[in-house]
Each structure stands twice: as structure tokens, then as C-alpha cells.
Structure 1
Amino acid sequence: SFVLAGADKDNYAISNTNATTTGNIEKAVLAATAENKQKVQNAVNPTFTVAITGFVTGDDVSAIQMMPVATTTVIQSTGVGTYPITVSGGTTANYTFNYISGILEIIPSADASLASVGVSVGNLSPDFDPAVFSYTAAVSNTTTSITFSPAANSNATIKINGTSLSGNPAAGTVNLAVGSNTITMEVTAQDGSIKTYTFVVTRAASADASLTALTLSTGTLSPAFASGITNYTATVGNAVTSITLIPTAANATVKVNGTSVASGSGYVSAGLVVGNNTITIVTTAQDGTTTKTYTLTVTRAASADASLASVSVNVGNLSPAFDPAVFSYTATVSNATTSITFSPAANRNATIKINGTSLSGNPAAGTVNLNVGANTITMEVTAQDGTVKTYTFVVTR
């Protein structure tokens, strides 16, 4: 019912008339908006959410029977960039949805950490931890190289000692010198961030003190050289007064008779005496403690020279004139000459006898008394090796 009001209300009357009409009540519109998200490349997609706005007074999400969902075409490996997040679906009795897309931003990775590192030989100390950047390892002397197998974020790059590795995970081999070898591993993240890991690998010094070769300037080693054989002999002629040795060692220092000799260089052993001459070669390995001694006995042959170099007499003349290769001579002296003195000289290592009597010294002198008539005088020369030559002198008084 209606009641009139106001100053002029009494001037009017209200009459009722019955009537019917039809109206449409339309659903209100809800905005379904995908919320913006961000992720690092190669990370799993974040959880997508939808914000609902536009409820009439008194309503909330309970008025929605099924919520709209947000989706994207982006997968884990999709590259850096911005991509749409679309909204679809959802049911509600009293509303319709206006779908508003959001943005998924994929950013470069800042991860420059190694995930793991393997080595082909030895063990890292401490055990690998991505947050620890310095390591050591020890290997034997026979290990001449080491291979690292690092793995990092799939978009990172790895260099070992400045050389880029192919692949990730990858492998890189480094040659090792004896002693400490510092190896750096540089990891560069997708966004340019860098982390450097350092590995100090110590290769043990060699304990090999063996010679690899031994040669002589003259003569022949007996037995033939072998690293494991340490005693040798060699024979040289009497005319050889010195010999040069050339010792070679791969991983050792060398001294010959106490004198340092570079591997592959010659050492001259002068003043060989007749008979045995002992030469000692001592090698010291890289480890500074392991040594090995080689012994070479060089035998210089005795002289076989039993020739006289010269003979003179104090009276008369030898006929023919003296020649070391002529062994018979004559000489004539006056009756007044009752003796003759011979002055022979021979190889300094030979001995001389006149008529069986040894002469003292070389050169020497020996006197023989003479009878009237022919006097046969023998001069026997014995070389150092025992060789004997006899010269005969017939002196007629």
C-alpha cells in the first residue's frame, strides 16, 4: 500500500489498479585473473593461482562450485622470456566469468655451483661439497694425468684451466707433472655469475733410481746393459789410458766416482792403470732417498811390447845399426878393451836382462867383461804381459 505525504497530500486521492509485468535478472560478472609468476629457466613451473573479484555484497568464493584454472604452454626447459598464463573453466550458478591472462617470466639461472665432481684416480679431500671451493688429491708417480668429471646447472658452462669442456656433465683431462699441480675449474652461470673451484693434485716423486742406458767410448760392457744389472766389466787395450762413460737415467740424478753428471752426458775416467780400474755410478731417485749403485770394472791390458827401443854401447859400433826389429848384432873392439857397457831402453813396463842378470832401471846400463875372441851376449826383454824377445850381440875382442 502507499501513503501520501507532504503539504499537498490532501489534494490527492489514491486509487488501486491491478497489473502484471515480467523482468529478466542477469548473472553478475566475476573477473577470473591469472596471477603473474616468475621462475628460473629449467626449474619446474610454479603453482599457478587465479584471483576472483566482482562478487555482489554478501557473496564470496563459496558461490563458485568449481574454480577456474590457470595453465601455460611453458615446459621446464623453455627458454628465458615472458609467456602467457591463461584461465579457463570454472562453474557458478549466479555469475559468469571474465578470463584475464597473466604473465609467466622465465629468468636466467644464477647458479654457478658445481653439483658434483668425479676424478679418475685418487680421492678428493675433503669430500666434494658444492659450497667448498678448495680440494687436494694425491696420486702415484706412475699417474701422468687425471680426468675430472664435473656436473653443474644445465645452463652453466665449465672450464678446466681455461679450456672449455664440451657437455654438462663433461670430462676434462689434465697432464700431471711431478709435485703439486694446481687445477682450476671455473663455472659460469646462465646470468654470467662465476664460481671457481681449485684442485691441487700432488703427483709423487719417482722412486726409480735405475739407469736406462750405459754406453762406453771403447770396449764392450759385459753383460749387455740392463737396468736391473748393477755389476759390469769391460776390457780395453794397453794403449787405452782413459774411457768415457755415458750414463742415462729417466728419473734420477747421477754421480760417477762422486762427480755429478747430467743424464746422457759423458764422464771421462782418465789415468787407467794396467789391470782393474773400478768406476762407481750412484743414482738417486726423484724422491731423494732411493739410491742405486752400479759398478764398472775396466781392465786395461798389460803391454805386450818386448822390443828394445834403443841400444847403445860405450865402445865400438853395432853392426848393423840398431833396429828394434833386428835381433842379431856384431861389434869389434881392441885387445885393450876388457869390457863393454850396453845401455838399452825398452817399453817402460818391460824388464831387461843381460846374460841373465836383471838390469836396474829402464833405460839401464849393464857391463860385460870381454874375453879375447868372440863374446856372445844375450839381452832378454820381458814385456808387461810376459812376452819375451831376445837380442844377441857378438862382440869380438
Structure 2
Amino acid sequence: MKFRVDRDVLADAVAWAARSLPVRPSSPVLAGLLIDASADGLVLSTFDYETSARATLGAEVSDEGQVLVSGRLLSDICRSLPAKPVEMVLDGARVSLTCGSARFSLQTMPVHEYPALPQMPEASGTVPSDLFAHAVAQAVTAAGRDDMLPVLTGVRVEIEGSSIALLATDRFRLSQRELEWAPRSTDDSLAALVPAKVLGDTAKSLTAGAEVTIALSAGGSGEGLIGFEGTGPGGVRRTTTRLLDGEFPKVRSLFPSEKLTTARVDKAALIESVKRVSLVAERNTAVQLAFSDGVLTLDAGSGDEAQASESVEAVIEGDDITTGFNPQFLLDGLTVIDEDVVELAFTQPSKPVVLSGYREGGESDGGFRYLLMPRRLLS
């Protein structure tokens, strides 16, 4: 195997393929990155039996062949190379990498022990890449991170015709993001539970091209794959991941059907106030929010400890209300809302608040909603 390739194109493709490599692989070869050189160029692949990544790129291939090397090491090396063409040559059990005056010799791994990558399911439709990345970033905000509750570490993807809904929850909060896409068939009704970390990383990494192809196998959670394909510098990027097994909780009913109190607040001002007031909040204690007479008053701290209070102007409709929330969870929701004004909708102090963006003219953006459970206030 021998090829010559642009340094930036190679570095980008290697970094993209290596990003999903396991930290503690069950087998040494699963830490490898497979390089397949042919007349069509290069294909770089990684796979850990859960998530696969495949990047294609153009290269001047003198001798075809395959080689398996440490993915993270190759990524580190490529990132540090000078801005000159890279040449790689397989010589026995080692690979020689040359870039300008820099030379590296890498040990190879047995290619025959590397598992075959799964095939992409049939394409289900396409979505603008920037829209998809932004929608996923909003949805994963509420995804769980506790591996003891694996179902809650996923994002439920629901496809109904030309609409996609993304739902995530960690039991204390809930996010819902809806967006339009171009389905293969408007009759499709599909659902999948996708690992939130993989979904977030993948969506963010596929914004170089205009659109992302989503490929979802029929069958539902635990019985198939979901695949994503887009373009990157030099070629196509493709990734697949196994769907999570288990029943995602029926969370849509948690969004209340009525609003007894609503408050509209400048988002930037509220974010800064929450950050300041929460500096004195003890760990696992709430920041109090009191809505009354056109003012939102934030309080934290109690007793002999440090205390803080700050007021923010608000447009309040309905009864006065006082409640409290985990400040970090509140900030997480506020920072992913696009609009400059945020609406907080309540039914009663002991019930969740629903956060959404608010636009001039009284039109709320129904694309993203963030529900947050209240926390008990210290007396």
C-alpha cells in the first residue's frame, strides 16, 4: 500500500473517523482505524460493534492495500503535521508516514481480526445539515447521562411523514424539538431510540455539506440501526449506530394543556441574573423565582450563609407565582432557546414550567419546548 494525500483533508477525515473510538476497547483491534487504499481513493473506517464511522477522500494511490493502525495516535500525528502533502507506505508490519521532513513509523494491527462494518439501512429522507445539527443540540440538552438508566441516555426520534420530533429526558427535565424534513415516503411512521452522545456528535460533525441523509431500519428500539450520511472535506462521511433497547417513557403528556401564569423575560438578562444569583446557592439547592407586578425576583442562599437577590423586568399574565429550580438545569434550557425573549408558562408552583422562545406579535416558536421540574425551596 502506498498513497499521497493532502494533509488537511487527511487530518480532517482521520479525526472524524477516530472521534467515536472507544476509550477502553474490548479488543485491541477495536482501537484501530482501517485504511483502505484503492484506485477510487481512500476509505477510513472505525467500528466498535456499536457505532461505525466511514470517511472517503481522494488520494494519489500508487499501490492498493489495507492497513490497520492506532486511530487516536494517527489522529494526533496528522493534527501536528506541517502543511505539506502526506505520503504513507506499508512496509512489512509497519507503516511509514512522511510529511515534509517529519517521519513516523507506526506498528500495524492484524486486518483479518477487524470486524466488518454494518451496512447502512435504506435511506429514509434528508434534512438540511445546519437545521439538523441545531435541532439535535437543543434536544440532547435534557438527555440523561446515567448509564444505570440507559433508556434515558437516548433521544427518541419520531418520524411522521414530513415531520421529525426529537424527545429527551433525564426525569428532571424534558426537551422536545420538532422540524420538517424531506422523507423518502410521506407515509412513513418510524421511531428509534438513538444514543444521545452519538447523535449529538454526529449531527455536529456533518455540517460541511448542505444536507444529511437519515437512514433508519424498520423494527424500532433495539432491533436495528440508524445511519447518517453527509459530506466533509474531500468526500463522504457515513456513520451508523445501534439503537438502544427499552421502552422510552411516554413523556408528551407531561406538557400541560393550559397556562395559568405566563412570564416573558429578556433571555440574556435572565441568564446573567441566574448565573450571578446562583453563585451563593448551595449544591443541590434551588434558585427561587418570584413573579409579581411586572418583576421577576431571583433569590438564593438562606440563614447564616451567603445570600443574593436580583430583579429582572417581566411581562406577567395571570396570578403571582413563586417557585424554584435547579439553576444549572434552568440555564441549560435558556441557552439553547433561539429567541431573544423567553416565555415561562406555569400552571401552579409545584408543577413544571415550560420554557419556549417568544416572538414579537405574540407568536411563540413551537419548534422547541423545554419542561423543567421545580425544586423544593429552603424555608
Q: TM-score, normalised by structure 1?
A: 0.16
Return the index of the structure with the highest Cα Rg.
1
Which has the larger share of helix? 2
Structure having the larger proportion of residues in strand: 1
TM-score (norm: length of structure 2): 0.17
Higher RCO, 1 or 2 (CA under 8 Å, sep at least 6)? Answer: 2
